[in-house]
Structure 1
């Protein structure tokens, strides 16, 4: 089941009906060789985002409460061959009113713009404008209807509003015990502006929190609908386990995972390629203090026409400092051209000589210097397979490896 909550909880005195929280954030990321080429032909990009965030919460724990979130961001982006540009945004991220237990017992109703996010951000990590209701105790159920950016997102740009895709959501979750939850979901999207394109992601899941000595995740999904006049008939599976040895120094943990998204067969009007919702974040923690991309940071693929094997080790050096090393192996389900924007890397010269795409290594660190200061960082590499070259000629060399690094630092005051 999806938990619809803001990123951070305000620190507030109980006597104050309305509390304010400021948070300064600096985020930077580079992606080297995004075209998977070689030498001088590399395409590199760098992004930085200094951000000032304001959260306002009113009447917490009362039958009627509210929450808002505004962000002032200055995004600087530089890319090889195109120079750099700077964009200022004032993002209206959240503004919702919550009615709790007034209409029905054990029922919460939320109206406005709210954050929708599941445990591993496998389905969605997005702000939605609409109505959301959650009810039940042992069996918790959530339903919602809305749109992304129905209202203007960037208050400095009137073009950041008016999305035509309507979302309908149903999620259920049952707690077998405090460390094990099972559930199902149905996530429907209908785009009125794209010849009736519609997509239904549905599935079953099992999940336990990474703080447990043995934690796991399992998602079994299917996609149905229509895209570009093709019927959608895709399937996916994503499962894994993390073992944490809490009685040993540094509390080492081992993670093993496997994910598969079906590919398509050519020659008919049915697309058997699995598609995620397009609103997913694909980020999670596996016992450490930092989030990271569950399918690798540099390639960052959508789970579509792909097999992904994942193995990782991690330690908590102290209660405030963690380190994880994660490896990934990628192979296509069916040999074919990469779908545009399905990965962070766009291959320039792909000879389609093997299903193997390559392998990756991520190193991720998390540090909580104090309850109000967080720092997360990663360095990642992707080694492409022999199907990728640096040119179209027969004597061209194989494409060189790509790399990325990412840093996020935040202070709350």
Structure 2
């Protein structure tokens, strides 16, 4: 971070000087984002309840500038203050508190969408936010060289890169961090075959080039540690919108993929309050597990009311036929309004692995860009296992029953004009029979509030 800071600071100062120059060839916008998180996990009989509290302030500048006829410069630079207090099952009676200020380049790249007049080829170099519409495949900021193909009905990208510097501090699972030792190749094709309907293809290669044996490594509870892994995903997506009449429509989506390669399971022990030590690892082959997600949303009453259904499944039995999502996936999207949230549940936030999820959604439009949305999720493992790949507030199930639990999310938010955006998410969870005889209370929750101002 110390080595990269002068470069980022110079880029910030240059951007600010550009922003003061009046010109129709640039856009500049400042923002201030305030975020608070409070949650309590499942209350385990022998170890108690994990807890998290977080406050985060981001102050930044988004800037876009046209450079000549073909090139453009795009950046999003910000200063972040993070307060985080975590209490983990393994750390009782201790806890881990973070209180950090750091500088982050969320985006910083040069792009030429069309290098020649008669060829639809483009290029991008730098740090870019990679995000597919549902974050089912990827949602992160990577330092890449990206080749582009741009036509009216067919677009494609092929990107090579990773994270040269990881200045981000690990947050409350808001985004996946700790990617400095990972390399990615991302391929994507999008065919707009009919008005409002698309079919897409994805190819992702991920190589986490860390030590195979990390036994003895000590980490903080809020630090993300990556296992040694090398995997390849191939998959497809279909999505679109059918207009039923002027007052109603149906939107549908289907994602499906398979993965092969090799990865690890890491185990930990208590080092001291707030610290964990890697005490073991298990290497296993990933041999063609399958994951898919299918759903639809119906908008009616002048598209002010919405109902939606989603079914998702990721295979797995132990390490056999196991499906794992890419580490840069985030499972966030828009259901009805303009707010993105985790459509598999804000509390559990699971990786789609040895798991099936049945979800129902409802939404009502309260104002021009404000929606109130509710969601219900039912979680079941395909095969009972004492491992659950999910957020930090969850705990390992007993491995004797498939029913992980049920969750309800309440979401309200959207844009207040052009200057402000608000999001509040309340998520409640009730543990199922997979936690029988393990809990003194089956109930847990997570609250998240985000308020952003623009000028």
TM bucket (normalised to shorter chain) is 0.7 to 0.9
User: Which of 126, 132, 137 in structure 1 is aligned with 2:146?
Assistant: 132
User: What does residue range 10-409 of structure 1 map to in structure 2 within 5 Å?
Assistant: 15-33=23-41, 35-37=42-44, 41-59=48-66, 62-80=69-87, 81-82=94-95, 84-103=97-116, 105-137=119-151, 138-147=153-162, 149-153=163-167, 163-195=180-212, 197-208=229-240, 213-228=249-264, 229-233=283-287, 234-247=289-302, 251-265=304-318, 271-339=320-388, 341-347=389-395, 350-388=397-435, 391=438, 398-409=440-451
CA distance in 1, matches of 2:158, 2:435: 44
Q: Is the 8 A contact 2:115 2:123 kept in 1?
A: no
* 1:22-81 Cα distance to aligned partner (Å, 9 max, x none): 100001111212x44369932221111011011221117941111111111111112344
Q: Is the 8 A contact 2:166 2:180 kept in 1?
A: no
CA distance in 2, matches of 1:106, 1:164: 33
CA distance in 1, matches of 2:44, 2:315: 28
SS of the counterpart of 1:163? coil
Shift of 1:289: 2.7
Shift of 1:134: 1.6
Q: Is the 8 A contact 1:121 1:283 kept in 2?
A: yes
Shift of 1:152: 5.0
Shift of 1:354: 1.1
Normalized against structure 2, the TM-score is what?
Answer: 0.78
Change in 2 beyond 3 A, CA 1:32/1:221: same
Shift of 1:144: 0.9
CA distance in 2, matches of 1:389, 1:314: 34
* 1:238-296 Cα distance to aligned partner (Å, 9 max, x none): 01000000437xx211100100000124xxxx632110001111111112132110100
CA distance in 1, matches of 2:168, 2:124: 22
SS of the counterpart of 2:187? strand
Shift of 1:96: 0.5
* 1:126-168 Cα distance to aligned partner (Å, 9 max, x none): 1111211221321211111111x2135359xxxx998232211
CA distance in 1, matches of 2:155, 2:113: 15
SS of the counterpart of 2:44? coil
Pairwise CA RMSD = 2.7
* 1:155-186 Cα distance to aligned partner (Å, 9 max, x none): 9xxxx998232211111111123311101110
CA distance in 1, matches of 2:179, 2:190: 32
Change in 2 beyond 3 A, CA 1:152/1:83: closer
Structure 1 residue runs of 5 or longer lacking an equivalent are 1-10, 392-396
Change in 2 beyond 3 A, CA 1:166/1:351: closer
CA distance in 2, matches of 1:135, 1:398: 56
Q: Is the 8 A contact 1:17 1:58 kept in 2?
A: yes
Change in 2 beyond 3 A, CA 1:12/1:144: farther
CA distance in 1, matches of 2:310, 2:424: 22
Q: Is the 8 A contact 1:390 1:399 kept in 2?
A: no
Q: Give the stretch that moved more between structures: 229-238 or 186-195.
A: 186-195
CA distance in 2, matches of 1:173, 1:312: 27
CA distance in 1, matches of 2:242, 2:393: 30
Q: Give the stretch that moved more between structures: 329-338 or 95-104.
A: 95-104
CA distance in 2, matches of 1:161, 1:292: 22
* 1:292-340 Cα distance to aligned partner (Å, 9 max, x none): 101000111111110000001111122132111100000001111124x
Structure 2 residue runs of 5 or longer lacking an equivalent are 1-18, 88-93, 170-176, 213-227, 265-282
